[in-house]
Amino acid sequence: MAKASLYQSLRNRKTEEKVSGLILIAPAFILLTIFVLVPLILSIYRSFFYYESGPNEAVFAGFQNYIRVFQDESFLRSLANVCIMTLFIVLLQVVGSFFFANILVRMKNKFGVFVRTIIYLPYLFSGIVVACIFTLLTYYNGGVINGILGKMNADPISFTGSTFWAYVAIIVPTIWVGGGYTTLIFYSGLINIPRSLYEAMAVDGASFWNTTFYLVLPSLKNYFVLTIVTLVTGSLQMFEIPMLMTNGQPLNKTMTPVLYLIHARANGNVPQSQIIAASIVIMIVIGAINAVVFCVTNRKEKKR
């Protein structure tokens, strides 16, 4: 009888915990459903219809809107452009942030606290503010950089007239605004590695590079995955900095998919259903890239 009572008590407790958990996640789930899931389902539904005659006169189009998206050279070019910029942003920011995080770990005094605070501040700025700051730096006539070059009797740089410098004008501000946050992520990972592991590596006679490759990098695997996924997701959707810095120029070489959709919507030269289909394609591309990252990292983890 006592065992049955104890079993019933444990069962009731588990039921209460499940109910409490459901109550706690209910607000978040409701908001997610209203503002994310329902709009997503409606968008996918609308992407299979034409609305040329009005919002109430839908004509089933099948996959024609998606076919038009992949036949649109401007959209495909914008997708290629953002992939190139994302590659450089992720590579440079991850490597640079990991390097600076190793420097921050060695700063033990108040100066280290000051440096960590300063490098994090740009992350608090919006993309529009960052773009305005760097626009003042890169103006062809009157910009700070070209003003300095003029004092040195050097030719000014056209940041919107050269493909190379246009990429630089977008990549540098993007890394600047997010580099401090990424650095602090790696910093938090480095300080969580037990000191005893470093001491054991030193006793075994491991060099700096051996310690880095066989201790530090494996310990920060999850941090690298988090950083790469976050950077890829954010970079593929960027539009504020490209819009204000270059507006997709020169010759649409810095046009991003989101910026393309904004222009298409504003100009009215692309049907709304095709714009929705293109946005879903962007979502699928981002999801596929992130899935590849997770699959690669999980496969390496299983091999170990």
Asked whether the beta carbons of 145 and 138 are under 8 A apart, the reply is: yes
**High-pLDDT (> 90) share of the chain, %:** 12
Q: Which amino acid is at 247?
A: N
Length of the chain: 304
Cβ neighbours of residue 178 closer than 8 Å, sequence gap 6 or more: 93, 122, 123, 231, 234
User: What value does the mean pLDDT take over residues 14-24?
Assistant: 78
Among 184, 149, 185, 171, smallest CA distance to 254 is for 171
The pLDDT value given to residue 56:
61
| Antiparallel, parallel or unpaired: β 59-60 and 49-50 | antiparallel
- Segment 275-286 mean pLDDT: 88
Q: What digits encode the pLDDT tens for the residues 165-209?
A: 889 889 999 999 989 899 999 999 888 888 888 888 888 787 878
Under the banding of pLDDT at 50, 70 and 90, the label for residue 215 is: confident
Q: The dihedral of CA 17, 19, 22, 24: what is its sign?
A: negative
Provide the 8-state DSSP code for 270. Answer: S
Mean confidence (pLDDT) of the chain: 84
Q: Which long-range contacts (CB under 8 A, 24 or more apart) does 106-110 make?
A: none
pTM: 0.81
The 10s digit of each residue's pLDDT in 73-110 is 888 899 999 989 999 999 999 999 999 998 888 887 77
Taking a C-beta distance cutoff of 8 angstroms, is the pair 187, 105 a contact? yes
